[in-house]
Amino acid sequence: MAMAPGVRKLALTAHVASSVGWLGSVAVFLVLAVVGLSRENTQQAQGAYLAMQLTGWYVIVPLAFASLLTGLVQSLGTTWGLLRHYWVLAKLALTVVATFLLLLHMQVADHVADAAVRTNLSSTDLDGMRVQLLADAAAAVLVLLTTTALSIYKPRGITRYGWRVQNEQRAERAGGTDMDTAAAARA
């Protein structure tokens, strides 16, 4: 099922905007995690962790789901398809895993932000969680850059399903008279 050109461009715009927004907001989250590790200014660290919690829940999580949803719309509504190309499958898998891990990561962000409100964060308490926030954000930036690169470079490689669909389409374009070709494409 192909989308009309105007709808396709609108869906692509929504997908690019949500994906780039997700990447940009995670980069901000990473900067806030670096600031939060600073021992020199406790108020800045507290503010950073509160900003991370708000940014996470009200910007990053919605953009992650928007990127996932618009990516599904793009793949299902264009010739790329969801299961035809390995790069689409890789991008889908990375996006699903990143979204799931984001939801787990937000539990750590919530815990550290809550502790930042209650304490001055000057002790070594929560150091492991604070470093985890930084490491998770850095890893997320790398994963999102990888999905971006997959979208741009579109590495070759068609799945078995993709080959079958491609052969069926060729048989239909040839007039559908070659029954052997069509039967072989279905096999």
**Local confidence pLDDT in tens for the 187 residues of the chain:** 688 999 999 999 999 999 999 999 999 999 999 999 886 788 898 999 999 999 999 999 999 999 999 999 999 988 888 888 899 999 999 999 999 999 999 999 999 999 988 887 766 678 899 999 999 999 999 999 999 999 999 888 888 888 888 888 888 888 755 555 555 555 5
Q: Which amino acid is residue 145, in one-letter code? A: L
**Please, are residues 65 and 103 in contact by the beta-carbon 8 Å criterion?**
no
Our CA dihedral for 121, 28, 61, 100, rounded to 10 degrees, sits at: -80
Q: Supply φ then ψ for residue 20, to 5 degrees.
A: -65, -40
How far is residue 50's CA from residue 121's CA, in Å, rounded to a whole number?
Answer: 12
